[in-house]
Amino acid sequence: MHALIRAASPDGAAVIGTAQQVADLVGTFAFGVSGALLAVRKGYDFIGLSVLAFATAFGGGVIRDVIINKGVPVAFVDLHYVWVSLAAAVVIFAIDPPARLVTWPLDIVDAIGLALFCVTGTLTAYSNGLAAVPSALLGILTATGGGIIRDLLAGRTPLILRPDQDLYAVPAVIGATISATLLHFDRYSVFTGGAAFLVALSVRLLALRFHWHTTVAVARTLRRPRRK
């Protein structure tokens, strides 16, 4: 697994691998819940709810696996991911929360999935032979890809493209950059990876709390000076 094997003993590498799988499953559930909650807000039935849950949970990871030529994406090989995302859909369908009350739970679970996947996505790419920078880019894609697909299927502009929304891509960029840096310098471990997750999650939650936005690109028209 690239520098990961060099930096850890066989037992340490096994621990990191197990922690990564657990984090991936938790992130899958969190993103599945966020997709299901958006479906509730949109008034979809169970099929629509399940589609959004699956698309959100798998979207970023499938795109990453295709790009790195990993073979069949893990979401279609390991059925644990299917069952976890299905469980997320069933739980939300059974609870049936009022549409007006799903905003903040959706933001929280989406933040958890975003922070987890920006770390595990970077680790997966690096473990498959990519350098630090492209690994970080794929970590960002893993974290944001599912949300983009979810929003497009639900007929709304993806959060990552909306300047009126609180910071979304920036927390993923920070988490992926920290993870890639740790991997490059052989300092990645369960604890440092967990710290990268917490930093990304904290930035996203603080952005939600204090409404941090990025600046908006404004087209400026060059005006010719008036002749006197």
Tell me: the pLDDT tens digits for 133-143? 999 999 999 99
The share of the chain scoring above pLDDT 70, in percent, equals: 89
- Convert 181-196 to b/e letters by CB count within 10 Å (16 or more is b): bbbbeeebbbebbebb
Which positions ≥6 away from 91 have C-beta within 8 Å?
33, 36
DSSP class of residue 128 equals T
pLDDT of 17 > 80? The answer is yes
Closest CA to 77 of 65, 89, 86, 87: 65
CA distance linking residue 70 with residue 68, whole number of Å: 5
Domain ranges of the chain: 3-210
| Residues, the chain | 228
Burial of 24 (0-12, 13-18, 19+ CB in 10 A): buried
pLDDT of 13 higher than 60: yes
Average pLDDT, the chain: 90
pTM, two decimals, is 0.89
CB proximity list for 40: less than 8 A, separation 6 or greater: 49, 92, 96, 97, 99, 102
Residue among 161, 164, 191 at smallest CA distance from 179: 191
Instruction: Please tell me the distance from the alpha carbon of residue 124 to that of residue 20, in angstroms, as a whole number.
Output: 9
pLDDT surpassing 90 at residue 214: no
Q: What is the pLDDT of residue 194?
A: 97
17 neighbors 2 (Cβ within 8 angstroms): no
pLDDT of residue 221: 45
Q: Which residue has the tokens 């958890």?
A: 112
Q: How many CA atoms lie within 13 A of 205 on its CB side?
A: 12
Report pLDDT digits (tens) over 172-195.
Answer: 999 999 999 999 999 999 999 999
Q: pLDDT-based confidence at 164, cuts 50/70/90? A: confident
Helix ranges (H only) for 72-102 are 79-95
Q: What's the whole-number mean pLDDT along residues 73-86?
A: 92
User: For residues 190 and 14, is the Cβ–Cβ distance under 8 A?
Assistant: no
